[in-house]
Structure 1
């Protein structure tokens, strides 16, 4: 009598944009600030992303990549897709991931008011002149309070939209399977959606519908740039890097955001939450991913405290998401899918591996010092 494989729902095939995926497991995008100073991906980054593909993830989503040579860079040593040299540097990474049977998606990001390191300019811009809460993140190279950004001029808004479209074309040329528009965690697109950050009184702000004009324009520009057959997704959240307590103004606002963006030419929605198994809003039983599954006919990726495979499988089995994205637990176990599938123990994340900077050099030093392997050793 055959036994059912552990957590079998996680290993069922799935589909996004007409492309069949080996399983329901996605590597969440995670900032690593390990590119060359000029934003080119490195051979060390190639090996890092290849490990996740080798470890069994069906889709690998890169860390946020900046999109233009002006205001979009959010961190020093952040990779970019803002020029031809950066595009070429990503090609070996893409080839390495694909050689292991996984798909790879480039996350496109504009730091906006949460920028804390940009080699092109010395000021930050945002929808309005509203400083993010708190202080910059030391493990990403920042220090001190966030400065108050300058409100973007109309010309700069258009340039930012064009930057996303151009970066998406470069990702397509580099061989990526798709792009993910980063509209979460308090970066520029999320700032336009948020009434706290967006206090404009022109066509880019005011009502929720107007605050959604910018992300809609970015989606349309990206889709036009890459054509109908290239995967385009978007990542959304309520929480901000600088304000994990932030919430949308109830179910009605959430449904307006989801339906407005879901009506665009997107192939999936990806939600970043603190815990994707808990209610996202008052009056809502499940997470944002679960709400999207109720309201929309698009593939959904859930992310947030899903390192426990039983929790992750529960969301799939209960049809509260189509895919799960693993972040912190994947940092500890680059082969999280294979370990789960074969019943091997999972290592706990030790945040010492991210200090003093959350880059690959410090992770390598920590692993060598502690004798902890990124991939399971032995049978």
Structure 2
């Protein structure tokens, strides 16, 4: 009996040649952009001096700027607000570099515990009493001025937009990758079984795919949210449970072609089981189209998650995603357009880079583009 032909697997040299074929200047630029965005989202919040959920009440809807805060106007507003809380009047005020001095006067002796209002401020630090006159009704204080820079500005709650955009990128990219992984596992398994089984089994399984195709995704997601509540894991599971349909059809088509190869017939003649043939012969030889479609699936999932979050069905505060930030920016577009511009730039650049990378992979494996 002749020895069975060895299974044809994508050799490293073949994958390398495919990568070189896809390695045009635009694809390389897209890959570099994706790496940059991923690194910024991963390590940027760790290096930021502003926590993503920190509320700066003295810096609400601050415009993007490289200049440090507070400005002279912000200092005046902050000291007036503190004086109102302490029920005192400001006799004089003076700023000397990073130190602010003021003379506070009141009808009754000023309780030193009221000076804690300075510590709760986003502009001033803990004050020091320099002088006390008129039986404590007149205080001379000095307090350091806190310096802060908001490169992307702040939102309607006074939170740093740059940190929130990067944290939102973590969520959006995570949902894109995790939901795509769910779609990959379900779609590859389902499509390979349907294509290899053929006959009535294939017809029945593909009719089930068509039925699921007909279900409205948003309605399904709303039902899941009403039953289980809004949760990060539920979002990517719901998205992945729908996006596997196209993957299943692609893998089924590849399986129908691969199962007619001689090495599959030889494996069957040697008594290999169906799961072994699928795992060792069918799926590895369909890896090219699977990877190419996967690079196009990730941006679709990210865009879908953004749309779901835009409708208010996504992650909950204080956690955020690009879709949530874009929805907030759309509500405040007249008063603070920067709330919409920056998350839209990050989302658009990521989706464009992923789409371009996916088209490069499809061209490398000779697949038709959409």
Asked if TM exceeds 0.5, the reply is: no
TM-score (norm 1): 0.22
TM-score (norm 2): 0.22
* Max Rg structure: 2
Higher relative contact order (CA 8 A, sep 6+): 2
